[in-house]
């Protein structure tokens, strides 16, 4: 490899925030013990926040963002990984604390990596990326209702933020699992898109605005909430006895105003999804399941491939809710 290569670099000097494509040196990669040539990364909501102004997440500058990537091992100090072996990384504060995947090369701790399963390739891995990995964790949390509660079947599942990266893949996976998926969106022009993913019903997000009773009619066996905020109050009140709410996002706000009633009267379970800190064992299991649960032909039709220049043009649209589907970043494009 050349000692110089391209990366997206953000900086914040004298209260002036910048983002640009620059040449950096191999010597700039100071973390980790495995050097990887990046094949693909992906654009997630957290990436967009970081590219915008650091998102109150990145503290040290200059910095290379990108919270996930797939690629091939170039050098490894850990015998577990061999040269040219394909690997995936999501989470572990890479792209937040450690230099991330918006680069042609990245160096990371070997304990953060998993080997790319034989069922998929590196492009497919980043068509899913952190968003897809999070959606799959949510889907398995909903499925856990059947497994933990000894046969209590899941039928109706609500998905909020359903046109986003996590939401759209959650709709696809939950439908594949055989559940009736009810997709919440404020974008009426995306109804056909959501139905093509497998949604049985489309619900206007306005239905979850306003005051809620302590308990309302139980409708949902499970909920995948990618949004957070005030709507969760009404959603909790509508979950059936022993239902599970898998919470994984905060685009609608970090505060919820609820009571203990859904939890102590109906046994509703709030299942937090920490995709960044998931164990390696869980990661390996979930990535191996992707071949069974993801229609990659359909996902590819909903995925845009971006260059670094395209990335800098696209992230503001994601923050404004003007981008849907998935975005794969090709550092060599």
Q: What would the pLDDT profile of 247-263 be if each residue is shown by its tens digit?
A: 999 888 889 889 999 99
150 confidence band (pLDDT: 50, 70, 90): low
Domain boundaries, the chain: 4-116+302-329, 131-272
192 confidence band (pLDDT: 50, 70, 90): very high
pLDDT of residue 151: 63
pLDDT of residue 252: 85
Is 28 or 153 the better-scoring residue by pLDDT?
28
pLDDT at 148 over 80: no
Q: Supply φ then ψ for residue 106, to 5 degrees.
A: -145, 150
pLDDT digits (tens, 9 = 90+) for 85-112: 999 999 999 999 999 999 999 999 999 9
Closest CA to 227 of 209, 201, 200: 209
- How many C-beta neighbours within 10 Å does residue 314 have? 18
> Is there a contact between 95 and 89 (Cβ–Cβ < 8 Å)?
no
pLDDT of residue 1: 76
pLDDT of residue 147: 80
pLDDT digits (tens, 9 = 90+) for 292-324: 999 999 999 989 999 999 999 999 999 998 888
- Per-residue DSSP letter, 177: T
pLDDT of residue 211: 85
pTM of the model: 0.93
Integer Cα distance of 139 and 177 in angstroms? 9
Q: What is the DSSP string of 10-69?
A: EEEETTEEEEEEEEEEGGG--S-SEEEEEEEEE--HHHHHHHHH-TTT--SSSB---SEE
pLDDT digits (tens, 9 = 90+) for 43-77: 999 999 999 999 999 999 999 999 999 999 999 99
pLDDT of residue 296: 95
pLDDT of residue 265: 97
Residues in contact with 144: Cβ distance below 8 Å, sequence separation at least 6, in sequence order: 244, 271
Tell me the mean pLDDT in the region 124-134: 96
pLDDT of residue 15: 87
253: helix, strand or coil: strand
131-272 belongs to CATH 3.40.50.720 = yes
Q: What is the mean pLDDT of the chain?
A: 94
pLDDT at 152 over 90: no
Q: Which CATH architecture has domain 4-116+302-329?
A: Alpha-Beta Complex (3.90)
Strands 105-108 and 86-90: unpaired
């Amino acid at each position: 490899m050349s000692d110089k290569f391209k990366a997206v670099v953000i900086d914040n000097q004298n209260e002036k925030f910048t983002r640009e494509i620059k040449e950096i040196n191999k010597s700039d990669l100071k973390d980790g013990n495995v050097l990887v040539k990046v094949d693909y990364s992906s654009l997630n909501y957290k990436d967009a926040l970081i590219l915008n102004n650091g998102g109150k997440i990145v503290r040290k500058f200059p910095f290379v963002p990108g919270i996930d990537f797939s690629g091939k091992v170039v050098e490894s100090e850990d015998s577990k990984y061999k040269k040219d072996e394909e690997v995936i990384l999501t989470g572990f504060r890479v792209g937040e604390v450690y230099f991330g995947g918006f680069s042609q090369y990245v160096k990371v701790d070997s304990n953060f990596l998993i080997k790319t399963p034989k069922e998929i390739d590196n492009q497919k891995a980043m068509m899913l990326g952190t968003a897809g990995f999070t959606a799959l964790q949510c889907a398995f949390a909903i499925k856990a209702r059947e497994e933990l509660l000894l046969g209590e079947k899941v039928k109706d599942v609500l998905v909020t933020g359903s046109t986003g990266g996590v939401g759209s893949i959650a709709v696809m996976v939950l439908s594949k699992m055989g559940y009736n998926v009810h997709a919440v969106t404020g974008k009426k022009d995306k109804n056909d898109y959501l139905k093509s993913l497998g949604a049985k019903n489309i619900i206007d997000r306005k239905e979850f605005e306003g005051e809620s009773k302590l308990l309302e009619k139980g409708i949902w066996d499970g909920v995948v909430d990618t949004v957070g905020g005030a709507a969760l109050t009404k959603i909790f009140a509508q979950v059936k006895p022993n239902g599970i709410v898998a919470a994984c996002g905060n685009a609608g706000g970090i505060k919820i105003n609820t009571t203990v009633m859904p939890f102590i009267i109906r046994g509703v379970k709030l299942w937090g999804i920490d995709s960044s800190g998931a164990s390696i064992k869980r990661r390996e299991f979930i990535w191996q399941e992707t071949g069974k649960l993801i229609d990659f032909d359909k996902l590819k039709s909903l995925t845009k491939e971006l260059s670094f220049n395209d990335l800098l043009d696209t992230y503001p649209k994601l923050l404004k809710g003007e981008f849907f589907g998935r975005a794969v970043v090709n550092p060599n494009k």
